[in-house]
Structure 1
């Protein structure tokens, strides 16, 4: 059994013997390699989309949240199993991925990824720090959680418009 978990979920409910605390909420944004910025020009129409899942849920959430649902064809494109894989494909210049803003903050700051649009959409899902209960390591784990909480970025770049979206 593990002592600490990093989990992703809507409500942070992971069972009766698990204590969870939110680390940060998910905010989705399209990302691409900086060299691809000129291809997008205010519309995703005709752009190669990179999907982090087979159901295109994250792209649909973002497109609906920013009222661009008719702008992009969600069928086709490259399909991966995780947001991280999709982001790495975008870094490599394979197209436009939908990604979590905070998880990709460093790649954006380092110029590996660019933001073709200025809107981030809240999904209602979050990332959690969780631990089993009871545990003999409660104080140590709580100190570790506090350390992570101190280092979660509290603010977004001022050019990003945050769009709240109803839960899907």
Structure 2
């Protein structure tokens, strides 16, 4: 069951203490875009731009990884001057490995951050890297994503209960 569980979970990527990553030896950050950095289909905003600038200044290597095609990810990555992997086929390892190659990082020193358990987190865990789950920014989503979120709920309940020391068992 570990494959589906995030190492950590936060309400927003903008609330996460990124300085704690340096202490853990993490040098590379892989971000999902939609519902992680910005609401679905939204362009880069000032808050996103400030976060990426601060992370670059702190010395992190960053790559965007998305299952979206070029028309969505290319303008976003260009606006932030970041490398990217489009059509990443998450949860397959392919996109994560390409991103690490572009950043020059190994799995042990890379974290993937996203809002979907069965794509972002499972893919990161399959690639052997750290994972951080964020709550979706926008509740209105496409039907296939809403259905995935319904399926995610029992897994998240189990994960949270186990992390809190509840009675969930392996």
Q: What is the TM-score of this pair, normalised by structure 2?
A: 0.33
- The answer to which structure has the higher helix fraction is 2
- The answer to which structure has the higher strand fraction is 1
Higher relative contact order (CA 8 A, sep 6+): 1
Higher gyration radius (CA) = 1
Q: What is the TM-score of this pair, normalised by structure 1?
A: 0.34
